[in-house]
Amino acid sequence: MKFTIYGSGCAKCNQLTANAEEAAKALGLTYEVEKVTDVNNIIDAGVLRTPALAVDGEIAVEGKVASADDIKKLLS
């Protein structure tokens, strides 16, 4: 499973990354994390609001910091 975090690298982006990792670990999933901070790449991905989280290339969360519980529900 691949998580892609879109954002400037701010505290909210870092929290979203931590929450995604916590959710994956709680579910016993193997994962990798990619962080995209380049504005042009974020726009090319179709992200309009950051922070955003994509799971295996699909945008799952946009414009907010989803909790680990919310991400676990998305992954289940």
What does the pLDDT look like over 15-56, one tens digit per residue? 999 999 999 999 999 999 999 999 999 999 999 999 999 999
For residue 21, what is the domain's CATH number? 3.40.30.10
In the block, tokens 């499973």 appear at: 1
Could you list the residue range(s) of the whole structural domain that residue 20 is in?
A: 2-75
Domain count of the fold of the chain: 1
Q: How many angstroms separate the CA atoms of 37 and 57, rounded?
A: 16
Q: What is the pLDDT of residue 76?
A: 86
Global pTM?
A: 0.93
- CA 73 vs CA 17, 27, 44, 59, 66: distances in Å: 16, 10, 27, 15, 11
Q: Which residues are catalytic?
A: 10, 13
The amino acid that residue 45 corresponds to is A
Give 33's strand partners. Answer: 3
